[in-house]
């Protein structure tokens, strides 16, 4: 969705008097002119005497307002991807699956490591005949557990880094839109 994000109002702005707020996104000018067909608008644009109906998005709500007066009386920035709660939750939820796998891997790793250590200790203190294979089996389970723990930590580090990078990209895009 394309539109124009309101970033400022002039004194006695007709658009502000009509109920528009900074951060609102204008998605169409009247019923027949979507915002993606408008190249540029400024606070000096003259509007018709009877006003113009603007379709506006605020958060996830879409509504219309009629602006009447000599000009719109606002400054806007053209945007191609308006920020909304849906947009920001994309970044929050994108890596949830990977973090769940990492957590499961870590838990399974700890279970294997503990089971391997206890199995080895029980064999050693049980006073039964101990061979190399009977000791290696539980130790290999412990080593596998340690591997799973390490892999879980690596996955978490990678997803945290990717999530941070995605948040920086969103922040930079927002800063460029507001400039």
- Does domain 3-84 bear CATH number 2.30.42.10? yes
Looking at every residue in the chain, the average pLDDT score rounds to 75
pTM listed for this prediction:
0.43
Domain spans, the chain: 3-84, 95-162
Nearest partner of 160 among 109, 92, 106, judged by Cα: 92
> What pLDDT sits at residue 50?
80
Q: pLDDT tens digits for 24-66? A: 888 888 877 777 776 666 555 667 778 888 899 888 889 999 8
> What pLDDT sits at residue 81?
47
> What pLDDT sits at residue 167?
65
């Amino acid at each position: 969705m394309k539109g124009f994000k309101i970033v400022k109002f002039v004194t006695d702005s007709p658009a502000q008097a009509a109920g528009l707020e900074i951060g609102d996104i204008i998605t169409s000018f009247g019923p027949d002119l979507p915002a993606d067909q408008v190249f540029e608008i400024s606070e000096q644009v003259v509007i018709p005497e009877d006003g113009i109906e603007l379709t506006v998005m605020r958060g996830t709500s879409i509504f219309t307002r009629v602006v009447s007066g000599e000009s719109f009386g606002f400054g806007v920035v053209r945007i191609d991807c308006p920020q909304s709660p849906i947009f920001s939750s994309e970044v929050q939820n994108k890596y949830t699956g990977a973090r769940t796998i990492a957590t499961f891997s870590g838990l399974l790793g700890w279970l294997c490591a503990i089971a391997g250590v206890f199995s080895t200790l029980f064999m050693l203190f049980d006073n039964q005949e101990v061979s190399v294979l009977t000791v290696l089996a539980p130790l290999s389970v412990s080593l596998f557990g340690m591997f799973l723990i390490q892999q879980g930590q690596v996955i978490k580090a990678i997803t945290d880094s990717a999530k941070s990078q995605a948040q920086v990209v969103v922040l930079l895009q927002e800063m460029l839109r507001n400039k």
